[in-house]
Amino acid sequence: MRIENIHERKFYEIESINENWSLRELKRQFNSALYERLAASRNKKKIKELDDQNQNQTTSANNSLLIANDKLSETNEKFAAVNKELAAVNKELAQVNENIKQYQEKQNEFINIISHELKTPIQAIIGYIELFLNNLKKNLNMGDV
Say what the pLDDT of residue 52 is: 65
Residue 37 has pLDDT above 80, yes or no: no
pLDDT digits (tens, 9 = 90+) for 88-113: 999 999 999 999 999 999 999 999 99
Model confidence pTM above 0.85:
no
Which of 38-52, 57-71, 77-91, 108-122 has the weakest average pLDDT? 38-52
C-beta of residue 128 within 8 angstroms of C-beta of residue 136: no
Which residues 6+ apart lie within 8 Å of 26 measured at CB?
1, 12, 16
Domain boundaries, the chain: 42-144
User: H-helix or E-strand containing 4?
Assistant: none
Distance CA 129, CA 75 (A): 78
Say what the pLDDT of residue 44 is: 66
In 3D space, the residue among 43, 48, 37 whose CA is nearest the CA of residue 14 turns out to be 48
Say what the pLDDT of residue 69 is: 93
Percent of the chain scoring above 90 in pLDDT: 37
Say what the pLDDT of residue 38 is: 76
Long-range contacts of 6-9 (CB under 8 A, 24+ apart): 7/51, 7/54, 8/35
Which residues 6+ apart lie within 8 Å of 39 measured at CB?
47
pLDDT band at 24 (very low <50, low <70, confident <90, very high): confident
Say what the pLDDT of residue 55 is: 66
Mean pLDDT of 128-134: 92
The DSSP symbol for 19 reads T
Say what the pLDDT of residue 133 is: 92
